[in-house]
Amino acid sequence: MHACHEHATCVEEALGAADRICAERELRFTDLRRRVLSLIWENHGSSKAYDIMEKLGGDYSAKPPTVYRTLDFLQENGLVHKINSLNAYVGCSHPLKHKDCFFLICSCCNEVQECCASHVADTLRDMAGKNKFSPRHTTLEIEGECQDCLKKN
């Protein structure tokens, strides 16, 4: 499902992008934030907050507020997304232009693909408009089976 065959590359790219974004915005991309983002990207699927917490373990012996605050920071800056239907978090594949994206969640291999399709966003905006509704944030998560898993089964 994922286009990235050399997975270490994904992680490095994501961290590099985060470095740049934080530098531009004069935000501190601290060791903790870097480590959490890295852990999230090391997963092809989505990451649960408490799993991240355990992986931080050791030196950090992190507690919930530490993890949630870090996740909040990453979300606010478009570096990760929360998947509401899973209570889990995924790295954003294209930070900076991360508006109106949605997710294809394979319940077989657990991978999550982020998509952006402006015509989908347009359709949703039109529909909201017809209902006289002013949208602020859209949660669009489609659960199903990805191509690879369909082939296998």
Partner DNA sequence: AAACAGTATGTTATACTATAACATTGCCGA
Partner DNA sequence: TCGGCAATGTTATAGTATAACATACTGTTT
Q: Where does this chain bind its own copies (CB under 8 A)?
A: 84-85, 104, 106-107, 113, 115, 117, 119-120, 123-124, 127-128, 131-147, 150
User: Which of positions 71-100 make contact with DNA (CB under 7 A)?
Assistant: 72-73, 82, 87-88
Assign 101 to helix, strand or coil: strand
- Site for DNA (CB under 7 A): which residue of 2, 48, 98, 125? 48
Interaction between residue 125 and DNA (CB under 7 A): no
Assign 128 to helix, strand or coil: helix
Token pair recorded at residue 64? 């919930």
Instruction: Decide: 87 and 76 in contact? Cβ < 8 Å.
Output: no
Assign 13 to helix, strand or coil: helix
Residues that bind DNA (CB under 7 A): 27-28, 30-33, 48-50, 60-66, 68-70, 72-73, 82, 87-88
